[in-house]
Amino acid sequence: MSQATILGRAARGWTRAASATPMVGVVDVLLRGLGQVMLQNNPATGLVLAAGVLVGDPLLAVAGLVGLGSSTLAAHLLGAEHGLIRDGQFGFNGVLVGIALAANLRPDSLLVLYVIAAGASSTLVLLALGHLLGRYQVPVLTAPFVLVTWAGLLAADRLDHLDPDGPGVPAPSRAGTFEGSFAGSFEALLRGISQVVLQDSWATGLLLLFGVLLSSRISALFAVVGSTVGAATALALGGQDPSVVHGVFGFNAVLSAIAVGGLFFVLTWCSALLAVLAAAGAAALTAGMAAVLAPSGEPALTAPFVLVTWLCVLAGRAVPALRPVALADVIT
Amino acid sequence: MSQATILGRAARGWTRAASATPMVGVVDVLLRGLGQVMLQNNPATGLVLAAGVLVGDPLLAVAGLVGLGSSTLAAHLLGAEHGLIRDGQFGFNGVLVGIALAANLRPDSLLVLYVIAAGASSTLVLLALGHLLGRYQVPVLTAPFVLVTWAGLLAADRLDHLDPDGPGVPAPSRAGTFEGSFAGSFEALLRGISQVVLQDSWATGLLLLFGVLLSSRISALFAVVGSTVGAATALALGGQDPSVVHGVFGFNAVLSAIAVGGLFFVLTWCSALLAVLAAAGAAALTAGMAAVLAPSGEPALTAPFVLVTWLCVLAGRAVPALRPVALADVIT
Amino acid sequence: MSQATILGRAARGWTRAASATPMVGVVDVLLRGLGQVMLQNNPATGLVLAAGVLVGDPLLAVAGLVGLGSSTLAAHLLGAEHGLIRDGQFGFNGVLVGIALAANLRPDSLLVLYVIAAGASSTLVLLALGHLLGRYQVPVLTAPFVLVTWAGLLAADRLDHLDPDGPGVPAPSRAGTFEGSFAGSFEALLRGISQVVLQDSWATGLLLLFGVLLSSRISALFAVVGSTVGAATALALGGQDPSVVHGVFGFNAVLSAIAVGGLFFVLTWCSALLAVLAAAGAAALTAGMAAVLAPSGEPALTAPFVLVTWLCVLAGRAVPALRPVALADVIT
């Protein structure tokens, strides 16, 4: 496996450069922040993910980078734990906040300030929730992204200078009904992955999947399983075709499957089965939260993933059938 | 008191049989799960409660049993604490989830799968909340039932194959206005108790009350007090007559009064007074939650009971006027 | 500084009288409860605050006193910690509950009972939340006021005898657009402070500010800073003029700035900057919560202040840049 050897060498070389050269170290931190969007503490994953967002929508990629910088810088200025910063733990919520605000609000100079403030706020929320959940050994996940984006979009709804007439989260068009073909299914699966970064593009999904594969074959496998189970659950329960095809039921299932299958638990048949059930539950919860949030017009974002994963991690601590991985070992 | 002696002997005989014969043991666990719906760890209460639901609506009784089996089996497979399983702690949320889903969705084979999945999910939620609340010595109560049913009904609202055109939670008909007669009041009181299992039937209420009486005279007394106080509070504050007569303001008050009066606190004049206030508060909160949930079309279920009882238990831990019963002693 | 000497002597004399004479002691406790509305454990602040509410609306002042008495008496009867009662910790939520219910419901004898019950409930909620948050060293703030008032108003919405046609929270009239004059700005600033007690009056705001000044020059400074930053943030983000002029975006910013700047943290440049950001965040969150609550018709009350301050206090515990003041030292 010479390919693996080359990748291994490149990874070691990069890690050495990152600790030796401050400038490379900063880039490393930011790339790991991007990689953590897919729950991977890996700069290569981050690089490919950035490419994936750029392919889908360059404007969102820029907004994501602004959020990434703002949230990471805020953590640095507040003196947050150095190890956590280095692992990109303060970056991924900022990335997603930036993408989500830019996807929903009109791009102008005020939006840049808004994204910077929201990115820094996501770091405050992360620190606060980390303090609350830490003693239960429960990870914060993307809860700061969800909470800050909801607050930001709701405030924008009431404040005139932040017009909510941006490009918007790709709405499921009525055109693309699900025809059950193999190619169509595979495309839907990739779109489900791409929705993690609020995109509706099979190319972005393919890049994200490739990025995860660079870091972990197990996570990549569960990403595919999650997207498939999410779409299948939605179809079985009667989800409307266009939404399913465009991955609306996929991204929360993808993240839940990665998290529960082999990341927060030691991989066993039991945890693998739970990962499949978690993906199905995340898809159902996506429908449920859409119904709750419909009056406010807010998207569910990754709230179903956060809730389902918290549920599995907390329940897993109370029963012997699941062996939790210590939080410190997961995120490093 | 030869009657008490006979009952006592039968109870001892059953307990012996349950620990000796595995098959009887399983039935005992399931009956205790049913009894816990009225906060009673007692198989006789469970048996009478099952009869009460059956009298009201056989379909709901079947759905309740499916949920009961699914939630208890999930706890067994996950290896949850044996003592808790044996006391029926993993059953009552499943029973209620099954009844509530069947009462609101069209009965077909997909619904059976849905109830099984929801019942098992209620066990996960119970384990998770138990882990969170355990260190505060706060009981989980029917919070898993409320959360899983809300998620399940909201998801069904968005997913076409789960049509929300089942028989529905008995809506208060305009016909039965409150006339203040003694018989009418007593009937309303019993309907308030029957709403615990989502029924609107005085016969079911009478059976539930009888079931509680088999287990605890104190709990039976507080069930009657709770239903009365709940209806009286609603009338005093101007609740619409048909709702009051059909027990809509009663069931949360019943459960709150049982829980606060003599179950989670040592029975004193102070805890008895708090139980009355809790019943009144639960009735007011039933109105408040109905207003919050109106846009989503969801029922409040037993959320007011859960909130009021958590409030009393938590506050009770901070003041000397109330003497809490250790959680382990309550539920065994 | 003979003025300070006179004030100091009066304060010492009053404290001596309060511990010597029971009647004066009771008045002292009630006045401190009023002072805690502005986060000041000071009877003089409380006296001036009462005058401020009285100037704005005598009816609301009476309702506030009923709530104050009910919540403090409930704490006394339940045997809550004597030191907390003496510092007025059980009073301020009752005051605000009374004012808010009276401002929104028709004044009659039933309302008096309702305010008494709600005031006592605010003490239960305070004890419960205190038990939950205590181990995180997080203050409960006005969360009981917010929760009890929401429950009370939502219930009233459904129950006919509590007509929601009271004078109502002063709605922003279209008349007073912001003209940017110095006098106009100063008036808006004071209205922002007066909204803490649900008033829209510069005179009330001036009295409240004076009351805070009697207790702490730092808190008074941050009250002014908070109101200014709140209004400025709302204007920058496009808040509608009348709301800004009438202080709608001010009061949560005022309380957040007082709490974060020099109260829950040792005053440093870092905590002062955080106080300014907290005020801006509270203003944005005021808009966001208004959007969430619009369908239910509920006011946001001080929920943005509670959330922003919890966020800062929790995050502050996790980073070295902020030095928290021990909770016991803050509230005494």
Name the residue facing A291 among B117, B127, B296 (closest C-beta): B296
Give the pLDDT band of residue B175 (cuts 50, 70, 90).
Answer: very low
User: Which residues does chain A have within 8 Å of residue B132's beta carbon, measured at their own beta carbons?
Assistant: 136, 314
**Which residues in chain C have their CB less than 8 angstroms from residue A93's CB?**
none
Which residues on chain C are in Cβ contact (under 8 Å) with A73? Answer: none
In the block, residue with structure tokens 């449920």: A288
Residues of C in contact with B289 (CB under 8 A): 154
In this prediction, residue C331 has a pLDDT band, given cuts at 50, 70 and 90, of: low
- Please list, residue by residue across B208-243, b when 16 or more beta carbons sit within 10 angstroms of its beta carbon and e when fewer do: bbbbbbbbbeebbbbbbbbbbbbbbbbbebebbbbb
Which residue from B237, B292, B295 is facing C154, i.e. has the nearest CB?
A: B292
Find chain A residues with C-beta within 8 A of B155's C-beta.
Answer: 237, 284-285, 287-288, 291
Q: pLDDT per residue over C192-202, tens digit each?
A: 999 999 999 99
For B199-247, the DSSP string reads ---HHHHHHHHHHHHHH-HHHHHHHHHHHHHHHHHHHHTT--HHHHHTT
Q: Cβ of A78 and C290 within 8 Å?
A: no
Are B77 and A321 in contact (CB < 8 Å)?
yes
Question: What Cα–Cα distance (Å) separates residue B88 from each residue in B7, B208, B249, C118?
Answer: 21, 17, 27, 36
Q: Minimal Cα distance from B292: which residue of A?
A: A292
Of the candidates C236, C281, C318, which has its C-beta nearest A131's C-beta? C318
**In the structure encoding, which two tokens stand for residue A236, read together?**
């079985």
Q: Identify the pLDDT of residue C178.
A: 54
Which chain C positions have a beta carbon within 8 Å of B317's beta carbon? 131
Q: Which residue of A has its CA nearest to B149?
A: A288
Closest by CA to C206, choosing from C217, C216, C219, C220, is C220
Q: Is C292 on the interface with B (CB under 8 A)?
A: no
Q: Is A292 on the interface with C (CB under 8 A)?
A: no
CA distance A231 to chain B (A): 12
CA nearest B311 in C: which residue? C128
Decide if C17 contacts C233 (C-beta within 8 A).
Answer: no
| Percentage of chain B modeled with pLDDT above 90 | 71
Nearest Cα residue in chain A from C313: A128
Q: Say if residues C297 and C269 touch (Cβ distance below 8 Å).
A: no
- Per-residue pLDDT reduced to its tens digit, C128-180: 999 999 888 899 999 999 999 999 999 998 888 787 755 444 444 334 455 56
Nearest to B159 among A237, A292, A314 (CB): A237
Inspect the interface and report whether the beta carbons of C162 and B234 lie closer than 8 Å: no
Taking the C-alpha atoms of residue B232 and residue B252, their distance in angstroms, rounded to an integer, is: 13
Residue C112 carries which side chain, given as an amino acid letter? V
The neighbouring-strand residues paired with C265 are C324
At C30-82, the pLDDT tens digits run 999 999 999 999 999 999 999 999 999 999 999 999 999 999 999 999 999 99
pLDDT digits (tens, 9 = 90+) for B204-214: 999 999 999 99
Q: Does C151 touch chain A (CB under 8 A)?
A: no
Interface check for B165 against chain A (CB to CB < 8 A): the answer is no
User: Coil, helix or strand for C319?
Assistant: coil
Asked if A159 lies within 8 A of C290 by C-beta distance, the reply is no
Name the CA dihedral angle for A8, A11, A16, A20, rounded to a multiple of 10 degrees.
170
Q: What is the pLDDT of residue B157?
A: 87
CB contact under 8 A, A318 and B77: no
User: How many residue pairs from chains B and C have C-beta atoms closer than 8 A?
Assistant: 85
All residues of chain A having their beta carbon less than 8 Å from the beta carbon of residue B129 are: 314
Distance from CA of C331 to the nearest CA of B (A): 18
Nearest CA to C257 out of C290, C224, C285, C287 is that of: C224
Cβ of B314 within 8 Å of Cβ of C127? The answer is yes
Q: Which residues of C touch A77 (CB under 8 A)?
A: 321
Q: Which among A238, A289, A311 has CB closest to B162? A: A238
Residues of chain A with pLDDT under 70: 1-4, 165-180, 331-332
Contact criterion met (CB < 8 Å) for C80 and B280: no
Closest residue of C to B133, CA-based?
A: C132
Using a CB–CB cutoff of 8 Å, tell me whether C240 touches chain A.
Answer: yes
Alpha-carbon span A247 to A235, nearest angstrom: 12
More confident residue, C148 or B15: C148
Q: Do A110 and C317 touch (CB under 8 A)?
A: no
Binning pLDDT at 50, 70 and 90, where does residue B2 land? Answer: low
Amino acid at B233: T
pTM to 2 decimal places: 0.92
ipTM exceeding 0.95?
no
Distance from CA of C51 to the nearest CA of B (A): 32
Amino acid sitting at position B144: P
Cβ-defined contact of A315 to B150 (cutoff 8 Å): no
CB nearest to B79's CB, from A237, A295, A321: A321
Q: How high is the mean pLDDT of chain C?
A: 90
B236 touches chain C (CB under 8 A): yes
Distance CA B173, CA B123 (A): 35
Within 10 A of A58 (CB to CB), how many other CB atoms are there?
A: 10
Measure in Å the smallest separation between the Cα of A162 and chain C Cα atoms. 7
Q: What per-residue confidence (pLDDT) applies to A185?
A: 85
Q: Give the closest of C128, C131, C158 to B291, CB-based.
A: C158
The structure tokens listed for A302 are 């990754």
The answer to whether A55 touches A207, Cβ cutoff 8 Å, is: yes
User: C236 to chain A: which residues are within 8 Å by CB?
Assistant: 110, 161
From chain B, pick out residues whose CB is under 8 angstroms from the CB of C78: 315, 319, 321-322
Q: Inter-chain contact A128–C315, Cβ cutoff 8 Å? A: yes
- Contacting chains of A (3 CB pairs or more, <8 Å) are B, C
Across B153-157, B307-311, C120-124, least confident range: B153-157
Q: Flag whether residue B273 sits within 8 Å of chain C, measured between CB atoms.
A: no
* C-alpha of C56 from chain center: 16
- Give the pair of three-digit tokens for residue C259: 């709490």
Q: Any chain A CB within 8 A of the CB of B155?
A: yes
pLDDT band at B303, cuts 50/70/90? very high
Q: Do A291 and B78 touch (CB under 8 A)?
A: no
Say if A288 is an interface residue toward chain B (CB within 8 Å). yes
| pLDDT > 90: percent of chain C | 71
Distance from the C235 Cα atom to the nearest Cα atom in chain A, whole angstroms = 9
pLDDT, tens digit (0-9, with 9 covering 90-100), for C191-248: 999 999 999 999 999 999 999 999 999 999 999 999 999 999 999 998 877 888 888 9
Q: What stretch of H or E contains C280? A: helix C269-293
Decide if B128 touches A, using CB distance below 8 A: yes
Instruction: Return the pLDDT at A161.
Output: 80
Q: Report, as an integer, the average pLDDT of B57-80.
A: 96
Closest by Cα among A257, A287, A309, A303 to B152: A287
> A137 with A327: CB under 8 angstroms?
yes
**Cβ–Cβ below 8 Å for B237 and C162:** yes
- How much is the pLDDT for A301? 96
Q: Which of B158, B160, B162 lies nearest to residue A290, judging by beta carbons?
A: B158
